[in-house]
A = this chain, B = another copy of it.
């Protein structure tokens, strides 16, 4: 980031800070059956202190690397990006945390039709994902791309993700069939030392980037996992990190009153455990933030959906995240949110300024259904719909909070990522579970290994 970048201007930074309004989560707005009383938040102080201390302890022990990513040296990522930008196509082979973050960032910060733009308007290669092991998608993608013009980024923190390795093998054979040297087209993003992918990359002399061992997959968006695809497509990675740093600083306080991430986590926790809200909706009113909602789904679901023993009994924790996009879902899910069971809380995200202004032209002035729209901007209509939905929910005793984003830029997006990550980590402490593991998916992996004949797993698909 150049010294003249606006991130260095304190007044710019202040103006770009996202703001959180959680008043509609509270009992005085939605009633005490569904809303939270200040006394309930106060009563959480002991649990909150324990959660904060646990995070601080693990952080001091070097276990929670995601907090420190804003301060990383991005020179290796910049260098790799400069190389990859020489290709026409950049293909991320990754799944879960290795695809959701890069997709979300790209969707928020690049042209909505990036891959359709001519090269000179695009500001980087076309971006594709080999995510699922769906043969229809994979065959179609590889048939369409010119291997000579394609860089393949294989992303798996552990180096052992079956879907990613299968797709890597398919992509590699495709490069080889074209007579190309795979090592000149492949770049691995993986653990710096461990795993089979690291071994192969080392033996064959691929370019590689590390994923810090103390950063879990779903917290890895601000490592090379997310930053390399972002930099390749021309996103200002330094501004993204500056936004994350600014939010980390805002979320340093130990108590619920002064730490916005902790406060939101506490509201989610109380809503889920004391107010009958097993579901939380994340509903940005911006097409570009659909990917953020999908990224959040993994973060929240996989971090907090846990089974653990407590006083001899088995407890199942977690709140189910539901993605939505306004105003689209006003014509899909909002009927259920407004009239169905009062079993949800909703987090809105709203943009205050839109990069492109579009004014609705003053046509059909005599038509009741059309005339009134002329002269307004699309952004004003969109935000009026957000306000209306929020009001209807509040009046119906249904809790919500809102995040106001001054404008959608890398600085804002970095703030959102860090806010949700700290909120999730802290919520894990409130639930008394480890938000950084995912033991529930291990048995499925083992059963799949068995079905696929992996050595040592052959006899597991009994029933």
Q: A387 contacts B451, CB within 8 Å?
A: yes
Q: Interface code A266-297, partner B: CB below 8 Å = 1, 0 otherwise?
A: 00000000000011000001111000001001
Interface set, chain A 115-166, CB cutoff 8 A to B: 115-117, 131-141, 144, 159-163, 165-166
Instruction: Write the nearest CB–CB distance from A119 to chain B, whole angstroms.
Output: 14
Most buried by B among A112, A133, A395, A451: A133
CA distance A136 to B200 in the complex (A): 43
Interface range on chain A: under 10, 10 to 19, 20 to 34, or 35 or more? 35 or more
Task: Report which residue of A355, A379, A391 has the largest number of chain B beta carbons within 10 angstroms of its beta carbon.
Answer: A391
Chain B residues with CB under 8 A of A137 = 112, 287-288
Chain B residues, Cβ within 8 Å of A379: 135
A249 close to chain B: CB less than 8 A:
no
Given A301-B332, A327-B95, A135:B392 Cβ within 8 A: no
Known contacts: A144-B113, A169-B373, A339-B307. The answer to whether A355 contacts B316 by CB under 8 A is no
CB distance from A30 to the nearest CB of B (A): 13
* Known A-B contacts A388-B447, A443-B392; A316 and B339 likewise in contact (beta carbons under 8 Å): yes
Is A385 an interface position by the 8 A CB rule? yes
Is there an interface contact between B451 and A388, defined as CB atoms closer than 8 Å? yes
User: A169 touches which one: B322, B363, B454 (CB < 8 A)?
Assistant: B363
CA of A113 to CA of B91, assembled, Å:
14
Q: Check if A263 is an interface residue, CB within 8 A of chain B.
A: no
A193 at the interface (CB under 8 A from B): no
Q: A377-393 toward B: CB 8 Å interface, digit per residue (1/0)?
A: 11111101101110110
Which residues of B lie under 8 Å from residue A455 when comparing CB positions?
A: 368, 372
With a cutoff of 8 Å between Cβ atoms, the chain B residues found around residue A6 in the complex are none
What is the count of identical protomers in the complex? 2
* Chain B residues with CB under 8 A of A140: 111-113, 356
A459 at the interface (CB under 8 A from B): no
Q: Is A453 an interface residue (CB 8 A)?
A: yes
Taking a contact as CB atoms under 8 Å apart, the answer to whether A136 and B372 are in contact is no
A357, B440: Cβ atoms under 8 Å? no
Q: How far apart sit A370 and B363, CA to CA, in the bound complex (Å)?
A: 61
List of B residues within 8 angstroms of A279 by Cβ: 278-279, 320
Q: Is the CB of A343 within 8 A of B389?
A: no
- The winner among A111, A159, A332, A369 for most chain B CB atoms within 10 A is A332
Asked if A414 lies at the interface with its beta carbon under 8 angstroms from chain B, I say: no
Q: A135-B377, A140-B113, A169-B360 are in contact. Are A372 and B331 (CB under 8 A)?
A: no
B-chain residues with CB within 8 Å of residue A389 when the two chains form the complex: 444
Is there contact, CB below 8 Å, between B448 and A388? yes
B160, B278, B370, B444: which contacts A392 (Cβ < 8 A)?
A: B444
| Chain A 92-125: CB-based contact to B (< 8 A → 1; otherwise 0) | 0001110110000000000111011100000000
Name A369's contact: one of B100, B195, B338 (CB within 8 Å). Answer: B195
CB distance from A280 to the nearest CB of B (A): 11
The complex places the Cα of A356 from the Cα of B330 at a distance, in Å, of 37
Chain B residue at minimal CB-CB distance from A342: B316
- CB of A402 closer than 8 Å to a CB of B: no
A134 proximity list for chain B (CB < 8 A): 285-288, 354, 378, 382
Tell me whether A136 and B354 are in contact (CB under 8 A): yes
Q: Does A438 contact B (CB under 8 A)?
A: yes
Closest Cβ of chain B to A173, distance in Å, is 4
Known A-B contacts: A166-B360, A301-B336. Give 13 more (CB < 8 A): A95-B328, A113-B144, A132-B325, A200-B370, A279-B320, A305-B335, A307-B339, A320-B340, A320-B343, A331-B441, A339-B440, A376-B453, A388-B444
11 contacts between A and B (CB under 8 A): A95-B327, A100-B332, A133-B327, A135-B377, A139-B357, A140-B356, A304-B340, A305-B336, A318-B340, A372-B454, A385-B448
